[in-house]
Amino acid sequence: MPVQVKVHSTAKRAVFIVGFAILLIGLLIGLKRLSGKPEDTASSKHEISSTELTTHIAPVIPLHLNPQENETVWSAALARKLGGSTEYPVQNGRVDVLTEQYAIEVERLTKWHEGIGQSSHYGLETGKVPCLAIIILPSEIPLNDLNREKLSLIERTALKSGIKLLLLVAFAEGT
């Protein structure tokens, strides 16, 4: 008689999140290698920031843009990187970035509460996995204790709400 094994939904979600993070990191490494841009040894500040941010579960996505740009520009850069579209209309709003699998809300660190609600709503409206992409400005790196605690709170809240979390960091064009 065959034995049936049931996997708890939390375990399935954890495996999915870890698998997606590994896939995304591999994709980013592959894209970087394909771009053919040589490593810039003068960008040690970027290496420090990425290392510091990876202490969280959330993947870190570097975007080449002026960090002072508005969220629309950040969304467009993320959509290009992930192969998604921007400003996808839904009832009572617009998804910042929509990919085949994710409905992504892009927000600055100070507006994360709004981002949690919007990403949850957009996930429901589109049938996609809700995702919150938090913008981390160069001026916020290295993270102070307050921002480190805030990121941990955001991460816990997103995980409990079933929302995927991404951290976006900017590298100015030409660096």
Q: Can you give the pLDDT at residue 71?
A: 92
Domains of the chain: 40-171 (3.40.1350.110)
What strands, in cross-sheet order, belong to the sheet with 85-90? 60-64, 164-171, 129-136, 102-108, 93-98, 85-90
pLDDT > 70 in the chain, percent: 70
Q: Can you give the pLDDT at residue 57?
A: 67
pLDDT in tens, 87-96: 999 998 999 9
Helices (H), the chain: 9-35, 44-53, 71-82, 112-126, 145-161
Residue ranges in the chain whose pLDDT is less than 50: 37-55, 175
> From CA 153, how far away is CA 174, in angstroms rounded?
34
pLDDT in tens, 97-112: 999 999 999 999 989 9
